Structure formats: C-alpha cells, structure tokens
Amino acid sequence: VVVYATAKGITVIPEIDLPGHMLGALASYPSLGCTGGPYEVWGKWGVSNDVLCAGKDDSYVFMKNVLDEVCDLFPAGYIHIGGDECPKTRWENCPCCQAKIKELGLKDENGFSAEHYLQSHVMMQMAEFLAERGKKVICWEEALQGELAPGATVMAWRRNKYGHQAARLGHDAVMTTRTHLYLDRYQSEDKDKEPLAHSSYLPVSMVWSYDPFVSEDKDAEPLTQQQKSHIIGVQSNVWREYIPDNDHLEYMVYPRMAAVAEVQWLRPENKDWDRFRNGLDRMRKIYDFMGYSYATHVWDEAQKPE
Ligand code: ACM
Ligand code: ZN
C-alpha cells in the first residue's frame, strides 16, 4: 500500500485508535482491559464501554510495541493515535486506573474529570514516544478534553468548532466534520432503495457546500488569518463496517469525492454550483471509462446546495 501510494504522490497516514475502539486488541489480550474480559471483537456500529486499561504498565508497553511496528511500516511524518469515543465507565471503577490517577495527582478540573486527564496522559505518553521516533501525532477532537499533547494536530469530526478551538490554541487542525464529510452516510432520502448506510442524508450538493471556517457557535469570533492558517485541510471518512467490497466502496465515494476535492482545493471566489455540476458530466465519462461504480443521484434528481 505504501509503495503504491508513494508512486502516486500520496502519503498514507495510519491510525491506531487508542485507548478506546480497542476491542479487537482486548479480545486477543484480555488482561489489558480493566475487567480482564472475556471480550469479543465489536461487530457493529457504536461505542463499547470496554477500553484499554490506562492503569496497567502492560497497556503502555503494548501501545508502544504496536506504535513501534507502525513506525517501521509507515514512513509518513504523522501517526494518528485516535482518542475518540472512549467512555470512562470502566476507568471510574477500575482499581488500577484509580491508582494511576492518584499516582499522577489527577483531579476533576476545568470542567473535565480526572479520567479525562488520564486519557490526556495516555495520549501525551504516546505523543512523546512517537516524537522520539521523529513522528508527529494526529488526535481526534476529544483530545481537547483535558490537556492536548504539545504539537498534536487535531481532527474535528463532530463539529467545526472543535477544529477552530484547536486553531485558537495554536494547533493545526484537519476538518472531517461528519455532517458534511462522512461518506458512509446515505445518498438518498429514500433509504429503502439504498444499501445499508450510516444515519443521515449526505447528497453531493451538501458535501460541496461544506465550509470549514463556519462555526456552529453563532457567538464565536471569526478566526483570524493566523488562526485560519492552522486549518491545514479537510478529509472525508469512509468507515467500512457495512461496506464489504470495492464496488460498494466506489459507490459511496463517487461522485461525492469530487465535491470534497472542490472544498479542499478550489479558491473560494471560484465556487459556483453550476460550473461544478457541469464538470460532473465530464467526470462521469471518466468514471465510465475507468469502470468505476458510482452513485447517480446527482444526475437523477435536482440537487441544490445549502
Ligand atoms: C469518529 O467518527 N469516531 C472519529
Ligand atoms: Zn483500568
């Protein structure tokens, strides 16, 4: 994968999501969970309360061993270490996690719990470990809860405002806001006619209309030029729990990815729906020529951007 992508000028950045979204690891190494298991690999959407125990030394050894292997495999300057959707229920009731909180002197403060700061500790330990190997980290926006690792790039996924918060703190941010950029979402309001997809409706026009600089918080000060320069790009995510093959994947990606490219690369003064929409007619010929699967909704039904 790395060699193929490199030949095309693409850098592959791996994500090892920790300390939540780790049931795969826990199923294999149950002693690394707070309860000791047994655990089963997660087979559906959603979030498990079972996460890596942040109180056991073995967990830190495990994370570092995995990241060491990942460093050997991927030459990218960044490694994404996750940090999203990590419920604190197990940690609140785990003697090891509570002992760690005591040892580190963590407490509830600034509206966050000691367990949030325990997660900050995990993220910062891994960021430091990776820095020694010449790698910078990317973390999901939850890393703002507690203390953000120095130099971490933040990926905003629920709301733009979290990317803005990172930028105001002088951190880089990548915007992957789910309402507009998650390509595992439905392409039609007629869901019965579509393959099973995640929750809401995301037509091409809505992807196209995405603006990374708009805040959901109406009272927020606009970002300064300096702060805007920390918004280093946008990304679409295609989570594949229910996308088992490449034809289905292409169907989810094309042509919405063309709209992502416009959001990413177009100068704002050139933004024009009709120009983009006409361009899609040419794009479709390329999809046909390449033999890609693609969704036809943007041709079948009138779409107007927000
Ligand atoms: C995410 O979608 N949980 C980053
Ligand atoms: Zn624990």
Counting ligand 1 atoms within 8 A of each CB, the residue from 21, 42, 140 with the most, and so the one to mutate, is 140
Q: Is the pLDDT of residue 237 over 80?
A: yes
Residue 139's nearest CA partner among 158, 119, 153, 124 is: 153
Q: Which residues have C-beta within 8 Å of that of residue 288, sequence separation ≥ 6?
A: none
User: What's the rounded mean pLDDT across residues 137-164?
Assistant: 98
Is residue 306 pLDDT above 80, yes or no? no
- Cross-sheet strand order for the sheet of 78-82: 15-18, 78-82, 136-140, 153-156, 173-175, 231-234
> Is residue 226 scored above 80 in pLDDT?
yes
Question: In angstroms, rounded to a whole number, what is the distance separating the alpha carbons of residues 5 and 210?
Answer: 27
Beta carbon of 129 within 6 Å of any ligand 1 atom: no
Smallest CA separation from ligand 1 atom 3, residue: 84
Query: For 62-78, what is the mean pLDDT?
Result: 98
The ligand 1 atom at the shortest distance from the C-alpha of residue 176 is 4
* Average pLDDT along the chain: 96
Of ligand 1's listed atoms, the one at least distance from the Cα of 82 is 4
242-269: per-residue pLDDT in tens? 999 999 999 999 999 999 999 999 988 9
Cα–Cα distance for residue pair 30/50, rounded to 1 Å: 10
Q: Are 158 and 178 in contact (CB under 8 A)?
A: yes
Q: What is the CA radius of gyration of the chain?
A: 21
* Residue 210 Cβ contacting ligand 1 at under 6 Å: no
CA of 21 to the centre of ligand 2 (A): 15
Residue 294 sits at the vertex; the CA angle it makes with 247 and 155, to the nearest 5 degrees, is 85
Q: Which residues contact 231 (CB under 8 A, 6 or more apart)?
A: 163, 164, 167, 172, 173, 174, 175, 212, 213, 223
Q: What is the DSSP string of 151-182?
A: T-EEEE-S-HHHHHHHHHTT--EEE--HHHHB
**Per-residue confidence (pLDDT) for residue 195, from 0 to 100:** 96
Pocket lining: 162 vs ligand 1, CB cutoff 6 Å: no
Judged against a pLDDT cut of 90, whether residue 277 lies above it is answered with yes
For residue 134, is pLDDT > 80? yes
Q: Which pLDDT does position 303 carry in this prediction?
A: 81
In this predicted model, what pLDDT tens digit does every residue of 71-129 receive, in sequence order? 999 999 999 999 999 999 999 999 999 999 999 999 999 999 999 999 999 999 999 99
Element housing 18 (H / E): strand 15-18
Tokens at 275, concatenated: 């120009």
